[in-house]
Amino acid sequence: MKVTNDKTVMKSVLQTLDELNDYSLQIGIFGEDNSFMQMVAGVQEFGLTIRPRGKYLTLPTEAAGGRSAREIPGLFKPKGKNILAIADRNGNLTVMFILKEEVKIPERSFLRSTFEEKNQKWIDFFDSRMDEIIVGNCTARQLYNQLGAVIVADIQMKIRDTQSPANSGYTAKRKGANNPLVDTGRLRQSVTWKVVR
């Protein structure tokens, strides 16, 4: 058996290992891409209490049809009720808005909690790919992109599977479902990664 000393291969491996320190992986919802979804993510991740500028927040019902209170003629607040409604000719009320003094959105961590639950899995994945780096089948950037895809998939699964704290009855009715982190799917789709030097 003949053993050869190929310094070019070793130099390439060392360079690739050095590149692991030159890159970092960023995971999340990036503001420059989608600042509205970044705000939604922050509210869900940490919770928030929303208070009105005036006396009440106006929460639209399905009957409001996406209109603001100013756009609905004949809207009034019935005495002793925290609603805004319209009345037909027979005096029957249609509730257009529910009035609230505040709305509390509970913390529903999907980023921090996934990191706590899956961190060891991600470390093991990274370690398992080191042989590919050493034999030259994978670059540092490729490894970070592979890891980013795994982490994002885990976070998206967490968003999909979160059931608690549940939506309020009002929100569940408006959405037609009770998954607290899924409405249109935009939050889940906005989670991504970047490999940066």
Q: Is residue 189 part of a domain?
A: yes
For the whole prediction, is pTM greater than 0.85?
no
Residue 187 has pLDDT above 70, yes or no: yes
Task: Tell me how many degrees the CA angle 155-160-161 measures, rounded to the nearest 5.
Answer: 95
Rounded CA separation 105/118 (Å): 25
Q: Is residue 73 part of a domain?
A: yes
Is 157 found in the same domain as 81?
Answer: no
Residue 153 has pLDDT above 70, yes or no: yes
Closest CA to 64 of 170, 154, 180: 170
Section 23-27 average pLDDT: 92
Is 190 found in the same domain as 115?
Answer: yes
Q: Mean pLDDT of all residues in the chain?
A: 87
Is 157 found in the same domain as 74?
Answer: no
Is 129 found in the same domain as 188?
Answer: yes
Section 125-137 average pLDDT: 86
186 CB-near residues (< 8 Å, 6+ apart): 37
Is 97 found in the same domain as 16?
Answer: no
Q: Is residue 36 part of a domain?
A: yes
Is 95 found in the same domain as 28?
Answer: no
Is 160 found in the same domain as 130?
Answer: yes
Residue 108 has pLDDT above 80, yes or no: yes
Residue 72 has pLDDT above 90, yes or no: yes
Q: Domain range spanning residue 125?
A: 7-47+108-167+184-196
Section 60-80 average pLDDT: 90
What is the model's pLDDT at position 32?
67
Section 122-149 average pLDDT: 90
Section 154-183 average pLDDT: 80
Is 155 found in the same domain as 119?
Answer: yes
Residue 37 has pLDDT above 70, yes or no: yes
Is 90 found in the same domain as 11?
Answer: no
Q: Is residue 126 part of a domain?
A: yes
pLDDT tens, position by position, 51-66: 999 899 999 988 888 8
Is 89 found in the same domain as 43?
Answer: no
Q: How many domains does the chain have?
A: 2
- Specify the range with the lowest mean pLDDT, choosing from 30-44, 107-121, 174-188: 174-188
Is 83 found in the same domain as 152?
Answer: no
Residue 101 has pLDDT above 90, yes or no: yes
What is the β-pairing status of strands 57-60 and 24-28? unpaired
Give me the amino acid identity at 168: S
Q: Is residue 134 part of a domain?
A: yes
Phi-psi region of 50 (alpha: psi -120 to 50; beta: other; left: phi over 0): beta
Give the helix/strand (H/E) hosting 112: helix 112-128
pLDDT over 90 percentage in the chain: 54
| DSSP secondary structure, 159-188, as one string | HHH---SPPPHHHHHHHTS--TT-SSSHHH
Whether 100 contacts 82, CB under 8 Å: yes
Is 190 found in the same domain as 134?
Answer: yes
Rounded CA separation 125/194 (Å): 18
Q: Is residue 173 part of a domain?
A: no
33 CB-near residues (< 8 Å, 6+ apart): 190, 192
